Amino acid sequence: MVTIETPRSPRNRKSANREKWAWLFMRASGVVLIVLIFGHLFINLFTGDGIKAIDFAFVAGKWANPFWQVWDTLMLWLALIHGTNGMRTLVNDYAEREGWRKSLNFSLWTICILLIVLGTLVTTTFDPCPDTSVVSALPQFCSK
Amino acid sequence: MPTKPTGTLYRGKTGMWSWVLHRITGLSIFFFLLVHTLDTALVRLDPAAYNEVIATYKTPIIGVAELGLVVAILFHALNGVRIILIDFWRKGAKYQNVMFWIVVAVAFVLFLGFAPRHIMHILEYIQAGK
Ligand code: HEM
Ligand code: HEM
């Protein structure tokens, strides 16, 4: 059930403040994301051979430069938090039952955090020359 | 008799449609990003598996979907600027309608600059016989 507070009820300061910061974050992150995402698409889809050129070696070439590691990590954090917070708005608008709304929002933020952790590990621990000896660590039945 | 609402920001007309489009594009980009973070993570697990998955990005069907993704990004980003101007610029609300058409026009021009090149890359990939 969605409850509407009576018009004169005092505002809940804490949640009003949180909404204000979320609102500001959407705008601030949006401005930065324009640069990050347009730059990402320009380099990966437009310059050189575009999509045709993308493979492991392409990524290794980019992440050999800390500039692109920082670029991608920042883009990852901002896009995921911005997107998840935007999805929260949609859930709050369309999920009518309170329990359903809460669990959807909980799932969204859980996914957001997991992907941020995963993506950050990927950009920061990337190894352009992965250890080929792991192949020999496979169980024997793999080599027919 | 209620009269037809005119010139409001949120009912009918560009004010409402820009909002609908902003929602749909934001939602679509979000789902793309979920998949995209996972496919990029393959880079840390297995180079060959990454190459295989990223090769699907070069096929005609996904290639066309990428055109759609770029349209979504262009609209969402530029309309995001329009929203920010409506919020912070004194005359933002007054010019929201003009700004909507500027957003559409700029997105269209940028798309025209991008699409032929992307289509060319996809066609070349097919010709390479992959
Ligand atoms: C079809 C279009 C796209 C292609 C071909 C593409 C390709 C790639 C590639 C090759 C990488 C590896 C690193 C690098 O090159 O910088 C990457 C990483 C990344 N991309 Fe994209 N990208 C596309 C669209 C997008 C969009 C629209 C977004 C944002 C919403 C995005 C967000 C990211 C993020 C956050 C990373 C870093 C992932 C991580 O930290 O693990 N990409 N992308
Ligand atoms: C490219 C730069 C971007 C800009 C300038 C931008 C701007 C904005 C702005 C100003 C809002 C409105 C927030 C509000 O009403 O309080 C918004 C909402 C939203 N954005 Fe973005 N955004 C960008 C990228 C993204 C990306 C990459 C995603 C997905 C991962 C995304 C997903 C959403 C969603 C789902 C909403 C909620 C829509 C709604 O409430 O109807 N945006 N964006």
Question: What is the percentage of chain A residues whose pLDDT exceeds 90?
Answer: 74
Assign A129 a pLDDT band (cuts: 50, 70, 90).
confident
Say what the pLDDT of residue A140 is: 72
Q: Which atom of ligand 2 is nearest to the CA of A80?
A: 30
Task: Give residue-wise pLDDT tens across range A74-91.
Answer: 999 999 999 999 999 999
Ligand 1 and A112: CB distance under 6 A: no
State whether residue A66 is helix, strand or coil.
Answer: helix
Closest CA to B82 of B74, A119, A111, B53: B74
pLDDT at A123 > cutoff 80? yes
State whether A51 and B44 contact (CB < 8 Å). no
Tokens standing for residue A24 = 């500001």
How many angstroms separate the CA atoms of A54 and A8, rounded? Answer: 58
CB of B42 shorter than 6 A to ligand 1: no
Q: Which residues does chain A have within 8 Å of residue B81's beta carbon, measured at their own beta carbons? A: 30-31, 34
- HEC assignment per residue over chain B: CCCCCCCCCCCCHHHHHHHHHHHHHHHHHHHHHHHHHHHHHHHHCCHHHHHHHHHHCCCHHHHHHHHHHHHHHHHHHHHHHHHHHHHHCCCCCCCHHHHHHHHHHHHHHHHHHHHHHHHHHHHHHHHCCC
Closest chain A residue to B53, measured at CA: A55
Q: Note whether A51 contacts B125, CB cutoff 8 Å.
A: yes
Structure confidence at residue A84 (pLDDT): 98
User: Cβ B117–A126 below 8 Å, yes or no?
Assistant: no
Residues in chain B where the model's pLDDT stays below 50? none
The reported pTM is 0.91
Domains annotated for chain A, with CATH where assigned, are 22-137 (1.20.1300.10)
Confidence of residue A5 (pLDDT cuts 50, 70, 90): low
The answer to whether the CB of A75 falls within 8 A of the CB of B22 is no
Ligand 1 pocket residue status of A81, Cβ below 6 Å: no
User: What is the arithmetic mean of pLDDT over A66-73?
Assistant: 97
* Residue % of chain B over a pLDDT of 90: 80
Query: Contact, B70 vs A24, CB < 8 A?
Result: no
How far is ligand 1, taken at its centre, from the CA of residue A96, in Å? 34
Token code pair at residue A141 = 């039945």
Name residues whose C-beta falls within 8 Å of residue B20's C-beta, 6 or more positions apart in sequence. Answer: none
The whole-angstrom distance between B127's CA and the closest CA on chain A is 12
- Specify the pLDDT at position A1: 59
Indicate whether A10 pLDDT > 70: no
CA distance A95 to chain B (A): 15
Classify burial at A44, counting beta carbons within 10 Å of its beta carbon; exposed 0-12, middle 13-18, buried 19 or more.
middle
Residue for token pair 């917070």: A85
- Say yes or no to pLDDT of A111 above 90: yes
Cβ of B69 below 6 Å from ligand 1: yes
